[in-house]
Chains A and B, each alone.
Chain A
Amino acid sequence: MVIILGKRLFQLIFVLFLLSAATFTMMKLAPGDPVRSLLRTDEFLTTQADEAKLRKELGFDLPIVVQYGEWMAGVMQLDLGKSYLTGKPVLDVMASRLPITAQLTGGALLVMLLITVPLGTAAALMPGRWPDHLGRALALIGASVPGFWLGLLLIYGFSYKLQLFPSMGKGGFFHMVLPCFTLGFSLAAVYARLLRNGLLESLSQHYIRAARARGVSERVILTRYAFRAALLPVVTMFGMSIGYLLGGAVVVETLFSWPGLGNMVMDAIFGRDYPVIQGYVLFTGAVVVMINLIVDLSYRAIDPRIRFGKGESA
């Protein structure tokens, strides 16, 4: 247990190092001179001396390895540099945007659960009947529909034609409905199928039969026995979906003018604000690795077979 935890922590550090080196290299390879474009946006006549001064101020005159070392030392102390455009520390900007994105992804997960659990359970309890077919059709559509198109259709239908929900910005509950549904729908469709398959498989196991023979009620069998076993593939998939959620959030945030991390990074891309992009990429990579670490550990909580060492490979 401790060994595995240590191994994963080492992996986390290694991955973060790889990420930081990669983003730093890419930043240096990037075309265009951020110093020049910065000066241009100031709308002043600039001299060679101004340029050199700013270059020195930003530390661009130092050797590249030194620059990386300094930047890395900063990263270790959670200093991700300052935004070229606004001059604010990247960490502060991200900290102010993070809860907004977390709200969106949290809402999307809620939407997912609200669709997945009833649909997946119904499909598993009535295989071959209409809930099953509905689940199958939804899974296909969910895997095929482009998120941005779904969002546009929802905006057209629900906020332009029916005027039920606002289409832009962040506000109360009503502002959240369309973005969260857009982000959560594809996930819900796929997970419902996954839950259905998992439930069907676990319901056919011997220990379920044994429980029935002992007179355990169907409700307890489903909720306490079958669900637990069916949860494993769902949890595994969740580790992989976190990347999808964060990526999808960029699209959804742009679509609905949701002022989160995704919106921030899109602005940064078009403004060539490299420190912000860098901070975003590092942060996202770290989140994905950490969520996968949590997923790994939660296996042990869910599945006693793994906890007691029989399924170490899983």
Chain B
Amino acid sequence: MNAAIKKAVLRPARNGRYVWLSANPLLLIGISLLFVFMLLALSGWLLAANDPLAVNMAERLKSPSLEYPLGTDHMGRCIFSRLISGARTTLGITAMVLMTVMVIGIPMGLLCGYAGGRIDALFMRLVDGLLALPEFILAIAVAGFLGPSLMNLMLSVVLVKWIGYARVVRGVVMAEREKEYILAARVGGARTFKLLFRHLLPQAVSPVMVLAAFDVGKVILTISSLSYLGLGAQPPAPEWGAMLNDGRPYFQTAPELMLYPGAAIMLVVLAFNLIGDGLRNVLDLKERWRGNPG
């Protein structure tokens, strides 16, 4: 286990052993919340096996029952099943986006931080250009020009988000590359590749973890907001934002159609924000990794 992760979840106790999480209530609440969500998703998968896409007009807008734990929507689809499969959609997309972002951003950061000079200057210019266009606006541009779809939405999020990781890793590498242990490793005959991935990259794990925790929340908010606008997941896909959009015409007669998906989004994002806050406190990073909303 990485030392940084160990420090985050475990706390050294007096007798030399580690105590689970007890040091950090924020982290504990966040992880528990996430755990409850996973359990719900899992239980839904095992127990409430209604088809999230099955339309049943005879059963529309039913109140909660044993068969439909949260009732049915305007097309007689099981809301609970849709929420559960929406969780899989939302979390799956977010995970994919963040993984792509890291696969692009981290090597870019390593490269720019280590090489410096012209490559780095070019990178910084590119970053300035991309940062001028806020993520949300870029997503609108991509959706506008290439057509609204989930794939295009993911593309636009990746296009902006990798910068954050590249910058963080670049900063760490620049601060570390002149230190003695790097020199020692080099004297010891380590190749550049090994130097980068074995010696420099581990230094960046903590800030990247914190950044990722906050980014999960932000990506979920972006994706659901744009899906709500009709620029992301398209109906009948059970994505939370799209579900809200779907239920919008019925919100006076059936407010629960908008209540549940919105609450689900908020709780999941809250869980990740708590985890991010907790991680930052435990790992002792400065406020600057927090970023701003949106």
Binding site for B on A (CB under 8 A): 11, 14-15, 18-19, 23, 26-27, 29-32, 140-149, 152-153, 155-156, 160, 186-187, 190, 197, 237, 240-244, 246-248, 250-251, 254, 265-266, 268-270, 274, 277, 280-281, 284-285, 288-289, 292
CB-based contact A152/B248 at 8 Å: yes
Query: A18-B129, A160-B252, A187-B293 given as contacts; is B146 within 8 A of A284 (CB)?
Result: no
**Is B106 part of the contact surface with A, judged by Cβ < 8 Å?**
no
Q: Which residues of A contact B145 (CB under 8 A)?
A: 23, 26-27, 29-30, 274, 277
Query: A143-B293, A146-B241 given as contacts; is B251 within 8 A of A152 (CB)?
Result: yes
**Is B116 part of the contact surface with A, judged by Cβ < 8 Å?**
no
Q: What secondary structure prevails in chain A residues at the interface with B? A: helix
Among the listed A19, A27, A144, which residue makes an inter-chain contact with B266, where contact means beta carbons less than 8 Å apart?
A144
CB-based contact B132/A31 at 8 Å: no
Q: Which residues of A contact B217 (CB under 8 A)?
A: 143-144
Name the residue of chain B whose CB is nearest to the CB of A269: B144
CB-based contact A288/B129 at 8 Å: no
What are the 4 closest A-B residue pairs judged by CB atoms, nearest first? A243-B134, A247-B136, A244-B294, A149-B262
CB-based contact A247/B142 at 8 Å: no
A188 shortest CB reach to chain B, Å: 10
- As a 0/1 sequence over residues 214 to 242 of chain B, the CB contacts with chain A under 8 angstroms (1 = contact) are 00010001001100111100000000010
Q: Which residues of A contact B65 (CB under 8 A)?
A: none
Q: Which residues of B contact A246 (CB under 8 A)?
A: 134, 136-137
Name the residue of chain A whose CB is nearest to the CB of B130: A18
CB-based contact B293/A285 at 8 Å: no
CB-based contact A140/B274 at 8 Å: yes
**Is B255 part of the contact surface with A, judged by Cβ < 8 Å?**
yes
- Residue picked from A11, A14, A142, A243, most chain B C-beta under 10 Å: A243
CB-based contact A26/B255 at 8 Å: no
- Residue picked from B137, B144, B252, most chain A C-beta under 10 Å: B144
Name the residue of chain A whose CB is nearest to the CB of B261: A149
CB-based contact A240/B292 at 8 Å: yes
- Residue picked from A15, A155, A247, most chain B C-beta under 10 Å: A247
A148 to B136, CA, bound (A): 14
**Is B180 part of the contact surface with A, judged by Cβ < 8 Å?**
no
Binding site for A on B (CB under 8 A): 125, 128-129, 132-137, 140-148, 217, 221, 224-225, 228-231, 241, 244, 248, 251-252, 255, 258, 262, 265-267, 269-270, 273-274, 277, 287, 291-294
Q: Which residues of A contact B273 (CB under 8 A)?
A: 140, 143-144
Q: Which residues of B contact A285 (CB under 8 A)?
A: 132-133, 137
Q: Which residues of B contact A26 (CB under 8 A)?
A: 141-142, 145-146
Query: A143-B217, A143-B273, A146-B224 given as contacts; is B132 within 8 A of A247 (CB)?
Result: no
CB-based contact B225/A147 at 8 Å: yes
Q: Which residues of B contact A155 (CB under 8 A)?
A: 251
Q: Which residues of A contact B230 (CB under 8 A)?
A: 270
Q: A29-B146, A148-B225, A251-B228 are in contact. List 8 more A-B contacts (CB 8 A).
A: A26-B141, A152-B248, A237-B292, A241-B294, A243-B135, A277-B144, A285-B137, A289-B132
Q: Which residues of B contact A143 (CB under 8 A)?
A: 217, 269, 273, 293
Q: What secondary structure prevails in chain B residues at the interface with A? A: helix
CB-based contact B229/A266 at 8 Å: yes
- Residue picked from B134, B228, B230, B251, most chain A C-beta under 10 Å: B134
A156 to B255, CA, bound (A): 8
CB-based contact B137/A243 at 8 Å: yes
CB-based contact A11/B128 at 8 Å: yes
Q: Which residues of B contact A292 (CB under 8 A)?
A: 132
A284 to B138, CA, bound (A): 10
**27 A-B contact pairs sorted by A residue (CB < 8 Å):** A14-B129, A26-B141, A29-B145, A31-B146, A140-B273, A144-B217, A144-B269, A145-B269, A146-B221, A146-B224, A146-B265, A148-B225, A148-B228, A148-B241, A153-B258, A153-B262, A155-B251, A243-B136, A247-B137, A250-B136, A269-B144, A277-B140, A280-B140, A281-B141, A284-B134, A284-B137, A292-B132
CB-based contact A149/B270 at 8 Å: no
A156 to B140, CA, bound (A): 27
CB-based contact A19/B251 at 8 Å: no
Q: Which residues of A contact B287 (CB under 8 A)?
A: 197
Q: Which residues of B contact A186 (CB under 8 A)?
A: 293-294
Q: Which residues of B contact A15 (CB under 8 A)?
A: 128-129, 132
Query: A146-B225, A149-B262, A187-B293 given as contacts; is B140 within 8 A of A19 (CB)?
Result: no
